[in-house]
Amino acid sequence: MAKAKVTFSDVNVTVNVPVGTRIIEISEAVGSYIAYNCREGDCGVCLFEVIKGKENMSAISKEEKAVLLARYQEIMDGWRATTDIDALQAKMQRENFIGKNCRLACQTQVFGDVVVAPL
């Protein structure tokens, strides 16, 4: 069976997994801090950053695009609603996705070598 090498930069762990494995299945096993909730592509909680290997991942479906868009809007709304500068700066550091390649861990399969991180 073909393998893909997946590196989780937050915990500095690299594993070889069968091609087609979803990121969420691996992140749980290695203790990465990629959060999740529904595991079905509905909630948008499992956002993670693709650091390397975007081309070695499943294509973004129309449904995933819609959830990503809704999640980005939710995060932006949260930032706009913040009036405390310290809280806003903390939020920005924690949730800054600008310039990053983001995907949903429960929807993304790996087909080759990748490096990922939680947001």
Closest approach, Cβ 29 to ligand FES, in A, equals: 16
75 binds ligand FES (CB under 6 A): no
Is 26 a binding residue for ligand FES by CB under 6 A? The answer is: no
Query: 3-state class of 2 per DSSP?
Result: coil
CA 52 and chain centroid, separation: 12
Q: Is 38 in the site for ligand FES (CB under 6 A)?
A: yes
Enumerate residues 87-106 that contact ligand FES by CB under 6 A.
104-106
Q: Which is nearer to ligand FES, 42 or 77 (CB)?
A: 42
Edge-first strand order for the sheet with 114-118 is 13-18, 3-8, 114-118, 47-52, 101-104
Q: Half-sphere exposure of residue 66, counting CA atoms within 13 Å on the CB side?
A: 5
Binding residues for ligand FES (CB under 6 A): 36-39, 41-46, 67, 104-106
